[in-house]
Amino acid sequence: MTPATVTLYRAPTTVCDVDALAEWLADRIDPSVQVRDRFVSEYGDSEALAGSFARARVISPYDRETGSEMLGIKRYEERVLAEPDRGGGVLYDGFQIQRAFNRALPKEERSLSHLHIPVLDRVLATWGDHDGRWHKRIAVLGQPTLLSIPGLYEAPAKPEAYYQEQQRHALVTGDTPPREVLESELELDMLVEDDPRTTEAMKGYVLAAYHLVATGEGFCAAEECRLSNPHRHAELIRSHLEAPAFCAEHRNIYGRNEEG
């Protein structure tokens, strides 16, 4: 089903320019594209959403069960909803958050004729039955599609040199250094927090959200396509930031106004 309307939601605590994403998307698809402010500010009872985030919190990377009913956790989530700059360092079950956001939508906007794409400053994950652990994600496709800006930096595997330096630090100091320390010490081609390439890198994920609803097809298998879902930073940079922007098949559909 081709949506008649696509609505993106801003993430003001990130460097991602959602208005630029909407403009880029509107140049490539026929449906109307619009932008609204933060999803959690637009919809829903803040107490109910705080409870949803608390229940979706990943407790252990190897434990399928999520959530905490502790009062302190709920109060934390309420504070972060009110003051998003105070959040960070927490992993959430992306599908639980997706269901909570779907319930928060107005009933008349829940159908696939109106696709919603909240851009978030939360780290999302999905459970891997194949290896029994949580995996960070950039995108959780569906209605709504959730796009995680921290996931862009944290989900893809980093260059091998990053992990080698991480191990070296651990051997010398007995502790693993924070990600920010390693990123500042190493000159590696990967996306890092507040990367100026963030908006450009997220364009393909916004289009993938629309493409799934319009065609029923998931991510593209071609590594050179912006509709792909790379699992390593090197692949992400190649497919989402370097020309050509699309594989031959998807260039015929979305390649208008595209260089290269």
Which residues does residue 232 pair with via DSSP β-bridges, in sequence order?
157
Interval 215-245: pLDDT, tens: 999 999 998 899 999 999 999 999 999 978 8
Count CB neighbours of 243 within 10 A.
Answer: 9
For residue 227, give Cα distances in angstroms to 92, 184, 199, 241: 24, 30, 15, 12
pLDDT at 255: 86
The radius of gyration of the chain from alpha carbons, rounded to an integer in Å, stands at 19
For residue 140, give Cα distances in angstroms to 98, 126, 163, 220: 8, 8, 26, 15
Provide the 3-class DSSP secondary structure of residue 118: strand
Q: Is the pLDDT of residue 144 over 80?
A: yes
What is d(CA 255, CA 47) in angstroms, rounded to the nearest whole number? 43
What is d(CA 254, CA 258) in angstroms, rounded to the nearest whole number? 8
Say which CATH class 5-156+191-254 falls into.
alpha beta
Q: What are phi and psi of 13, to 5 degrees?
A: -85, 5
This prediction's pTM = 0.92
pLDDT at 260: 39
Residue (of 192, 166, 193, 161) closest to 178 by Cα position: 166
**Paired sense of beta strands 114-120 and 146-148, if any:** parallel
Interval 82-116: pLDDT, tens: 888 888 889 999 999 999 999 999 999 999 999 99
Eight-state DSSP code of residue 57? B
pLDDT at 105: 95
Instruction: List the chain domain ranges.
Output: 5-156+191-254
Interval 110-134: pLDDT, tens: 999 999 999 999 999 999 999 999 9
Q: Is the pLDDT of residue 259 over 60?
A: no
